[in-house]
A and B are shown apart, each in its own frame.
Chain A
Amino acid sequence: MVRTSEQTAEMGFIQKLNGPWHERALWIYLAIVVLHWIEHLFQAAQIWIVEMPRPEALGALGYVFPWLVKSEVMHFGYALIMFTGLVLLLPGFRGAARGWWLASTIIQGWHLIEHSTLQIQAIVGSNLFGSPVPTSFLQPFIPRPELHLVYNLIVFIPMIVAMWLHTRPAQDTLNDCNCAAPPVERAKAGLASV
């Protein structure tokens, strides 16, 4: 069913974001996530595969802006952006896709709590477990670089599963967005009546 112009004018930002804008918003968001993930993997490969000394393993952006790697603010800021994106785009998901997206949101919520705690420690100058450095809750069990790489991975996987399910053609009747609509070339004739 197509909305009238009066009805669409009444739609709020969240409704538009999870309706007509959902498809484009989702792919822009995924591009940001993938670029960040590639940066993490680039640095991880430098550390664990190339075995570069840690001060030299700055990732790709770190070569240009070395302070980025050492800044808690940058890590915290990205965790916040990622969590906000997951929350804002959640209402557009339906069925099983919603469950996977929600799982990713909950895991990222915990990741954000970890980064907020690190940020507070860096500001206050007092660290968890009496440690001389800012410490994540699970760091006593898994060293920090491994821990945060795993956090990013276990947020990424359910997010991708959710997007894959959400964009399956069978999902189109459930969705209020165009994410699962047929490709425009094949559906051009029927597009006006979507």
Chain B
Amino acid sequence: MSIALPAMAHGDHDARPLLRRAEVGPYTVSLWQVYPDVGSAIIPHLIVMFDDGMPDEGAVVSVQVGSENVHVMPSMTTTGAWETMSGVEPGDVVSVTISERGESWSLPTVVIPPPLTSVLPMRALIAISIFLATAVAWWAAGRTAQAWRRPITYRNVGLDG
């Protein structure tokens, strides 16, 4: 498993839900996988979201990946969430337990699905875009020089067309 940075409150991360609005004890909880928005390399970690706000003080969230406990703590950047500091791999089995005042409730076990793949042919799209940008930059350079050689002249400006 690889180490991932905490999810930023803003910026360049994407997230996908692994489990939505599961009722566990008094709480409604969702499990999210948050990952930097890379094309192929992916270092996701997990966020346990309390959909109705933070749990009571004294509640403890524990996360197991396979048979191993992983470090999880209240998120510093996301309200109503606890997050792990380590990533997970596809096929990892994740169990989440919430304990409070001697009681504990578990979320249904989740198996990490394969990473998201691009739904668009990104390399082809980028190649076309680079070609287009280069052609436009070349055209614009010539036309801009031409525009500055021409004195500013006033025509019949009606702006009613």
Contact = CB atoms under 8 A, between A and B. Distances in A.
Contacts of A122: 9-10
A98 B134 CA distance: 24
Interface stretch (B65-73, B88-96, B103-111, B114-122): B114-122
Interface in A67-95: 69-72, 91-92, 94
Interface string B37-67: 1111101000101010000000000000000
Chain A's interface size range is 35 or more
A176 B158 contact: yes
Interface in A141-165: 141-146, 149-150, 153, 156-157, 160
Interface of B: 5, 7-15, 17, 20-21, 30, 32, 34, 36-41, 43, 47, 49, 51, 75, 78-79, 81, 83, 116, 118-120, 122-123, 125-126, 129-130, 132-133, 136-137, 140, 143-144, 146-159, 161
Contacts of B21: 130
Contacts, number: 195
A177 to B, nearest CB: 7
Contacts of A71: 10-11
A23 B146 CA distance: 10
A109 B154 CA distance: 31
Nearest to B119: A142
A143 B118 CA distance: 8
B136 A20 contact: no
B119 A160 contact: no
Given A34-B140, A44-B126, A184-B150, A144 B155 contact: no
Contacts of A176: 155-159, 161
B132 A191 contact: no
Contacts of B116: 143
A150 B36 CA distance: 19
Given A41-B126, A44-B122, A49-B123, A134 B10 contact: yes
A34 B137 contact: yes
B133 A11 contact: no
B87 to A, nearest CB: 13
A156 B37 CA distance: 23
A2 interface: yes
A48 B123 contact: yes
A125 B79 CA distance: 7
Contacts of B78: 132-133
A143 B132 contact: no
Given A45-B126, A47-B39, 19 more contacts: A20-B152, A27-B143, A38-B137, A41-B126, A48-B39, A51-B39, A54-B37, A54-B41, A55-B36, A94-B161, A130-B51, A131-B32, A134-B10, A146-B119, A149-B122, A150-B120, A177-B155, A178-B147, A183-B149
